[in-house]
């Protein structure tokens, strides 16, 4: 029997993810008699005219059944004669991308469904990128609803070309493309005569036999989750081994302190053992006292950075856009600390993969950012040590997860200071666009300043005729909205000013106040 396979179903909304998994469970006789009977009864009042609605096996929330969409992640464990599975059925709607990312974080393989009548959509591309971001290296693109296009090979080949372009752009290597119909059962658990032109096999047999290679990580490491101190004679460090093996007598290093000690004893499930391997939760006792607590990492035969500077690719999941220099809790491994997103290096277009400059980050956008932590912690590139390369960004006020992502680069210089502060960073900190505004008079400038102040905007009124353009440029770079009475802004001064600030940041309000323009 092959080993356990953890996989995720994802794709755009209403592509048939829940129906597909439900049909696998039904056809493979993996339901209890009462579950099968309940499914048949529920389907009689469903949306398929009395036919079995396989999605009801996964969509358990009332809102999911009313709308006919998946909202939350549904996990299901099942076993066939050849393999055991854990599947995460995730939502396709853009509003629930956060839930999809949660499901992707645990999976080894992604089944991405595509509606044969619509082809590759924006959400299909976004989900493929998120799966790749989360470290999934095996993909199945299931071209579903082939029954709605009369099982057309021509339609399938066109979608196959779209998938090929997407996989080439993302650099995906282990890719399988299967045409099927989740409602009719074609190519779900066995090959269908209605798709005789396809010879690549059905979905379930492929999942039963695919070999998913785990990432081979260097050395041994175990993030400490808890210190066990049942009495004064015993002090053990508990956690799950993320890579390698540890045995009694081994010399391990505690990070971030760098202290060394020998392993005195190893306990698995409360019983002493000579050694332990990857995936086992253990308690490790050392031969001498060291300052080890939750968030520390025990390592052997590997070098892992200890730093407070990193570059990460993140998926922004918060309804409120990201503003620069805002503090968050950053969770890496078992350690949580305060961090600041210093700079958005670029966003990644989900359709083309293009790197676009950006000052803010909106919900469901993917970006690469510079992050600075309040203290040096143990972390590494996701490609080297997966657990220490994953991170969560948590809002300090609401305690909601604002973003998740992976570390692409760890800067080994300790306690490095903030990089050069840019005008864009200053403006983002103030949560406003820095404008230079020409008003009809000094009185109009002061009145407008009062209104802007009530809306929480940072402003300054210029009253001196000396070096107007240079002063306005300095205030603009500071992120302020600068108000200049018309008599101070001559034609020559205006020309000089527009040569040093973006023209889009100049606003002429001599003929009436358009306050909304300044509140963006």
Q: Is 493 helix (H, G, I), strand (E, B) or coil?
A: helix
Q: How many distinct structural domains can be found in the chain?
A: 4
Say whether pLDDT at 30 is over 60: no
Q: Which of 13-22, 74-83, 114-123 has the highest mean pLDDT?
A: 114-123
54 and 187 in a single domain? The answer is: yes
Say whether pLDDT at 128 is over 60: yes
**Model pLDDT for residues 435-445, shown as the tens digit of each residue:** 899 998 999 88
465 and 357 in a single domain? The answer is: no
With pLDDT > 70 as the criterion, what percentage of the chain qualifies? 84
Burial class (CB in 10 A: 0-12, 13-18, 19+), 420: exposed
148 and 237 in a single domain? The answer is: no
69 and 171 in a single domain? The answer is: yes
183 within domain boundaries: yes
**Model pLDDT for residues 215-270, shown as the tens digit of each residue:** 788 899 999 999 999 888 899 999 999 999 999 999 999 999 999 999 999 999 98
Per-residue 3-state assignment (H helix, E strand, C coil) for 216-248? CCCCEEEECCEEEEEECCEEEEEEECCECEEEC
> Under a CB-based contact definition with an 8 Å cutoff, are residues 169 and 161 in contact?
no
Long-range contacts formed by 343-351: CB under 8 A, 24+ apart: 343/369, 343/370, 343/419, 343/422, 343/425, 344/368, 344/369, 345/311, 345/369, 345/370, 348/129, 348/313, 350/122, 350/125, 350/126, 350/129, 351/122, 351/125
Per-residue 3-state assignment (H helix, E strand, C coil) for 458-474? CEEECCCCCCHHHHHHH
**Model pLDDT for residues 181-223, shown as the tens digit of each residue:** 988 889 999 999 999 999 999 999 999 999 987 778 889 999 9
**Residue span of the structural domain in which 458 resides:** 432-518
90 within domain boundaries: yes
214 within domain boundaries: no
137 and 228 in a single domain? The answer is: no
Could you tell me whether strands 275-277 and 335-348 are parallel, antiparallel, or unpaired per DSSP bridges? unpaired
Say whether pLDDT at 141 is over 80: yes
358 within domain boundaries: yes
pLDDT band at 298 (very low <50, low <70, confident <90, very high): very high
More confident residue, 391 or 419: 391
Say whether pLDDT at 96 is over 70: no
Q: What is the pLDDT of residue 71?
A: 42
**Model pLDDT for residues 369-388, shown as the tens digit of each residue:** 999 898 899 999 998 999 99
Q: Which of 374, 400, 424 is the last residue of a domain?
A: 424
> Under a CB-based contact definition with an 8 Å cutoff, are residues 469 and 496 in contact?
yes
What secondary structure does DSSP assign to 117-139, as a single string? TT-S-HHHHHHHHHHHHTT--EE
22 and 159 in a single domain? The answer is: yes
Q: Which of 180, 209, 238 is the last residue of a domain?
A: 209
């Amino acid at each position: 029997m092959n080993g356990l396979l953890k996989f995720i179903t994802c794709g755009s909304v209403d592509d048939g993810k829940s129906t597909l998994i439900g049909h696998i469970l039904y056809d493979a006789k993996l339901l209890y008699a009462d579950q099968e009977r309940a499914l048949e009864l529920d389907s009689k009042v469903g949306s398929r005219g009395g036919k079995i609605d396989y999605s009801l096996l996964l969509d358990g929330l009332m809102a999911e059944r009313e709308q006919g969409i998946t909202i939350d992640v549904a996990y299901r464990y099942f076993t066939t004669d050849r393999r055991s599975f854990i599947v995460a059925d995730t939502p396709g709607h853009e509003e629930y991308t956060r839930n999809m990312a949660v499901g992707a974080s645990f999976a080894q393989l992604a089944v991405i469904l595509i509606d044969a009548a619509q082809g590759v959509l924006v959400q299909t591309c976004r989900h493929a990128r998120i799966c790749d971001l989360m470290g999934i290296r095996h993909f199945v693109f299931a071209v579903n609803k082939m029954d709605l296009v009369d099982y057309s090979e021509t339609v399938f080949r066109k979608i196959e070309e779209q998938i090929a372009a997407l996989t080439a752009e993302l650099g995906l290597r282990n890719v399988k493309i299967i045409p099927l119909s989740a409602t009719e059962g074609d190519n779900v658990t066995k090959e269908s005569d209605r798709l005789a032109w396809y010879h690549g096999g059905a979905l379930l047999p492929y999942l039963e036999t695919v070999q998913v290679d785990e990432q081979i990580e260097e050395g041994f490491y175990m993030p400490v989750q808890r210190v066990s101190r049942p009495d004064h004679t015993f002090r053990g460090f508990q956690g799950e081994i993320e890579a390698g093996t540890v045995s009694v007598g081994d010399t391990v290093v505690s990070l971030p302190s760098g202290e060394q000690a020998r392993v005195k004893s190893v306990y698995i499930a409360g019983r002493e053992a000579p050694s332990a391997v990857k995936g086992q939760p253990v308690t490790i006792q050392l031969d001498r006292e060291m300052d080890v607590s939750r968030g520390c990492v025990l390592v052997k035969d590997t070098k892992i950075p200890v730093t407070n500077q990193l570059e990460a690719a993140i998926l922004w999941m918060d309804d409120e856009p990201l503003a620069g220099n805002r503090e968050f809790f950053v969770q890496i491994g078992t350690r949580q600390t305060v961090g600041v997103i210093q700079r958005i290096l670029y966003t990644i277009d989900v359709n083309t993969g293009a790197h676009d400059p950006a000052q803010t980050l909106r919900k469901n956008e993917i970006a690469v950012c510079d992050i600075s932590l309040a203290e040096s912690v143990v972390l590494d590139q996701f490609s080297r040590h997966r657990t220490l390369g994953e991170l969560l960004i948590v809002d300090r006020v609401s305690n909601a997860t604002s973003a998740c992502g992976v570390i692409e680069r760890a800067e080994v210089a300790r306690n490095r200071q903030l990089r050069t502060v840019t005008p864009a960073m200053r403006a983002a900190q103030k949560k406003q666009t820095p404008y230079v505004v020409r008003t009809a008079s000094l009185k109009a400038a002061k009145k407008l300043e009062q209104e802007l102040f009530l809306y929480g905007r940072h402003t300054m009124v210029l009253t001196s005729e000396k070096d107007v353009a240079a002063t306005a440029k300095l205030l603009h770079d500071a992120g302020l909205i600068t108000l200049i009475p018309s008599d101070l802004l001559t034609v020559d001064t205006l020309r000089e000013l527009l040569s040093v600030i973006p023209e889009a940041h100049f606003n002429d309000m001599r003929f009436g106040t358009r306050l909304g323009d300044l509140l963006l």
